[in-house]
A = this chain, B = another copy of it.
C-alpha cells in the first residue's frame, strides 16, 4: 500500500500540489501573480510584489545583503539594475541584456549560465529593506516606517547575529532550485562592490499553502503545517491583515519576518505519537484539530474529552497560535523546510525557515510569537537561531519603475 493510499489522498489531491493554475479564479477579487504551470513564468509587474500571495513554489533561496557602498546614488542605481535583471530572470531570460554568450568573448558573461535551457519554473523575486538600511548612511532615517520597529527579544531564542538581519533581503522562490540559486547568484554578481552577501538559506518543501488550490504540506516534524494560513482567496483578510495601507511609500507593500527554527528532530522522533499530537493539537495523519474529524474543521478549544480535559491542551501549538488567542492576529506564512547537513554531533541540522508577511508585525508576529515563546509545548523541540525583519515595498508597476522607487524617489 502506498503512502498516498494509506492516507486517503486521491490522485487529484496530489496533483494539486504546486499547481496554482487550478485555483478557482471566481473566488478572486483581484488578479494575483501566478504561473499557469510549474515551469511557466509568474508575471513580474503589478500592484504588489510577486512571491507573497503567489501560490508557494516548492523551493527557496533566500539571501540577506549588507550594503557596502555609502553612496545613495550607487544604491539607487543598483536597485534599478536589479529590477531590470529580476524582470528578465522571472520570465526565464538571462540576467543581462546580452546573455551568457551573446556579448564579447573578452568580457565576463552577463549571466552565469547555469540556468541556460531551464524554463522560468515559476521564479519570483521579492525584495525587502531591513531596519539597518534606515540609519544615517542614505538619508532614510526619517522614512523608517513605524511598523518596522525592531522585534523584541523573545524568551528562549538563541539568535546567531551572523545569520540574522541584513540591510536588504531577496526571497527567490521557484519550482527548480537551480533557477532560484541562479537568480540570487546573479543579483549578488550584479551587486559586486555595492552589496555583500551577509547570509543565505536554501529551503525545500514549502511548509504552508498560500492558495486553496494547494494541498497542505508537512513540516519536518511530520505534521501538516499552515492549514489555517491566510490564503490568496481571502481577499478581505488580505486587505485587513497583509497589505500596508495609508498613502506613504509602503502603500501596497507588506512586512516580512523570517525566523530560522532549528528542530531537535532526533529527540522529537523518540516522542510518542500521542505526545506529538498533543503538542500540535492536531492529529498527525489527517491534520484534524483534536476532537474534530477533518483537517479544515474549525478547532473547538472548549471541547473536552471523556476524561473531562480539553481535547486541545492549554499549551498546544494550534491553540496558542490561533487568531482567537492573539487579538485576531493573522499572518501569511510562506516558510520552507531546510536541512543544512549535519552538526558534527551526529545530528541532522534541520528545521523550518519560517517566513511570514503581515501589515504590521507589532500586531501580528510579535504577539503571536510572544505567546508561543512563553507557553508553547513545542519549545522543547525547537530553537530560534536567526531572525530577520524587512519592509517589502509595493510592486514594480512597469519597465520604468524599480524596486524601492517610492522610498528613494
Contacts and interface: CB of A to CB of B under 8 A. Distances in A.
A221 B285 contact: no
Interface size class for chain A?
A: 35 or more
Contacts of A93: 1-3, 6
Interface in A103-152: 103-109, 111-120
A167 interface: no
A294 to B, nearest CB: 15
A272 B200 contact: no
Interface in A342-381: 342, 344, 346-348, 350
Contacts of A341: 163, 199-202, 340
Contacts of A106: 272-274
Contact of A119 (B4, B116, B284): B4
In the assembly, how many copies of this chain are there? 2
Given A202-B339, A218-B117, A348 B188 contact: yes
A34 interface: no
B116 A2 contact: no
Given A101-B285, A107-B272, A273-B101, A116 B339 contact: no
Given A272-B108, A348-B185, A116 B197 contact: no
A115 B340 contact: no
A181 B7 CA distance: 20
Interface stretch (A262-270, A305-313, A317-325, A398-406): A262-270
A205 interface: yes
A78 to B, nearest CB: 15
B118 A3 contact: yes
Contacts of A350: 181, 185
B189 A6 contact: no
A173 to B, nearest CB: 14
Given A198-B342, A347-B197, A204 B178 contact: yes
Nearest to A65: B346
Interface of A: 1-4, 6-7, 9, 13-14, 59, 61, 63, 66, 91-94, 99-101, 103-109, 111-120, 162-163, 176-178, 181, 184-185, 188-189, 192, 196-202, 204-205, 215, 218-223, 265-266, 269-274, 276-277, 283-285, 337, 339-342, 344, 346-348, 350
Sorted from nearest, which 10 A-B pairs have the closest CB atoms? A113-B222, A196-B346, A105-B274, A178-B205, A177-B204, A101-B285, A2-B92, A197-B342, A200-B342, A105-B273
